[in-house]
Amino acid sequence: MVLGHAPPKARDAIAFAIDTGLRKEEQFSLELTDVDLVRNEIVVRDEIAKSRRGRRVPLLPRAREIVERLAGDRVGRVPLFVTGKGPRYSPESPTLYE
C-alpha cells in the first residue's frame, strides 16, 4: 500500500485526498477557515472549485484527525497544507516532502 511507504506529509495529503475526494488544487487551496469542525465538513469555496460552484464535503474521522494535527495552534485564513518553509503547496513547490 502506498500510504505505508509514503513520508508523513505525503501520507497526510494522500489520505486526505482519498477521504475527501477533493481535487489537487481544491485540497491545496484549503484554508483553516474552510473547515467546520462543528458541522464536521469542509467548505469548498466557489473560487477554488473546478466548476466554480462551491460545495460542502463531509469530514471523515481520519481526515478530521489530519486537519486537527495540521492546524496545530494556527488560526484564521492560513493554508491547511503547507511546505516545511510555511507557504502552501503549489505547482512551484519542489516536492511534497519539504
pLDDT in tens, 16-70: 999 999 998 899 999 999 999 999 999 999 999 988 999 999 999 999 999 999 9
Rg, Å, the chain Cα set: 13
Is-above-0.85 flag for pTM? Answer: yes
CB 78 within 8 A of CB 28: no
- 94 pLDDT more than 90: no
